[in-house]
Amino acid sequence: MEFKIIAKDKKSKARVGLLQTKSGSIETPFFMPVCTQTTVKYISSHDLQEMGAKAVISNALVLSLRPGQNLIKKFGGIGKFMRYQGVVFTDSGGFQMYNKSIYEKSDENGVLFKNPISGGKVYMTPEDDMKLQIDLNSDVAMCLDSMPLIEVSKEDVAEAVRKTGMWAIKCKIAHDELQKNIPKNKRQLLFGICQGGIHKDLRELSARHFAGIDFDGYAIGGLALGEEKEDEYAMIELAKNVLPEDKPIYLMGAGNPVELIEAISRGCDIFDSRFPTRNARNGSLFSSKGTVRLMNNSNRHSNEPIDSECKCFVCKTYTRAYLRHLLDIKDGNGLRLASYHNLYFLQDLMRKAREAIKKGKFTEFKKDFINKYKE
């Protein structure tokens, strides 16, 4: 398992890398559709393959509740269970600490969640989480982290940084022990997640802690949650200056096209977000000229595609007027078509970014894209 940088932009920190996993290699930067429960809403595994999505991310905690890790293990893991031929990441469940209806509390040893299905309690330790993610047979596991809510105090963020750092060590020890008899080329990778909110001292403290642990990759967590973009980008730059240059960097939760391009220019390699599909279901669609508000009256009689420059089958086939009608009547086909387009757009954007970096033209590509893209 390794990460190899194969191209760098001379005017920014943008780069193309090759991440090798037990399921195969994948070029960075790439965007992962969110398959929380082994499915993207309204999108099939076939759709994912067809649009060129070579990696997805599921949620280990959620899957442990339903259908259960034993069932997925029986089928050989998430990829085989959902018949998806690509790289699979699993989040630990730390993101669910952002969900007040599920999260109960955390302590030194783990996190207490409320099971929304049975009403019971689930206590997740770092060691439990590593066993769970290995059972799910994902290619890349994420450490259990404490993700602070955006509105909490600096003291609460500091406590989250402390717990996240402590749990990361436990995750690394447990993960190594569980795989000690597995050949290296068959092992699951493990990424650590630095936290710290938008507090420079806490973000640097967390990043330095993780840089001292030999993870296969590093994630920047607790951003893209509604903070000012200038603060988000400053935290990315701070973390990137500390984290190892020869390992992949994963910005968790980022899915706005401009945000992705800005993060790539700052050296991020991997992304995921529910933003593209959630917005699509509400009629907010990506295009080469910016966001299309499909439900606006101006699109009621429009014979245009969502994006004349897009090559997805949705843009090749359907008009804005028809898609608007489907969303207006809340038809499942409309939800699928809109979601498909937004995910395809981001896969194509990542492809174009990789090509621009390889050709030494990323800075020009970034400037051109951002100038044309209107929110």
- How do residues 233-265 score in pLDDT, each as one tens digit? 999 999 999 999 999 999 999 999 999 999 999
Say whether pLDDT at 375 is over 80.
no
pTM > 0.95: yes
Computed over its alpha carbons, how large is the radius of gyration of the chain?
Answer: 20
Which of 91-100, 166-175, 306-315 is predicted with the least confidence, judged by mean pLDDT? 91-100
Measure the CA–CA gap between 54 and 31, rounded to whole angstroms.
Answer: 9
Say whether pLDDT at 225 is over 70.
yes
* Residue 99, pLDDT score: 72
Contact criterion met (CB below 8 Å) for 86 and 36: no
- What structural domains does the chain harbor? 3-273 (3.20.20.105), 281-370 (no CATH)
Could you tell me which residues come within 8 angstroms of residue 127 by beta carbon, excluding any fewer than 6 positions away?
A: 170, 171, 174
* Residue 95, pLDDT score: 67
Measure the CA–CA gap between 76 and 215, rounded to whole angstroms.
Answer: 25
Helix (H, G, I), strand (E, B), or coil: what is residue 231?
helix
Say whether pLDDT at 209 is over 90.
yes
Sequence-ordered alpha helix ranges (H) in 106-247: 126-136, 154-178, 200-211, 229-242
When pLDDT is cut at 50, 70 and 90, the band that residue 27 belongs to is: very high
User: Please, what is the average pLDDT of the chain?
Assistant: 96
Query: What percentage of the chain carries pLDDT values higher than 90?
Result: 90
When pLDDT is cut at 50, 70 and 90, the band that residue 117 belongs to is: confident
Say whether pLDDT at 115 is over 80.
yes
Q: What value does the mean pLDDT take over residues 130-144?
A: 98
The set of catalytic residues is 91, 272
Which of 80-94, 141-155, 183-197, 205-219 is predicted with the least confidence, judged by mean pLDDT? 141-155
* Residue 97, pLDDT score: 67
- How do residues 304-332 score in pLDDT, each as one tens digit? 999 999 999 999 999 999 999 999 999 99
Say whether pLDDT at 279 is over 90.
yes
Measure the CA–CA gap between 214 and 83, rounded to whole angstroms.
Answer: 32
Say whether pLDDT at 1 is over 80.
no
Measure the CA–CA gap between 212 and 208, rounded to whole angstroms.
Answer: 6
Q: What value does the mean pLDDT take over residues 101-105?
A: 82
Say whether pLDDT at 94 is over 80.
no
Q: What value does the mean pLDDT take over residues 348-354?
A: 98
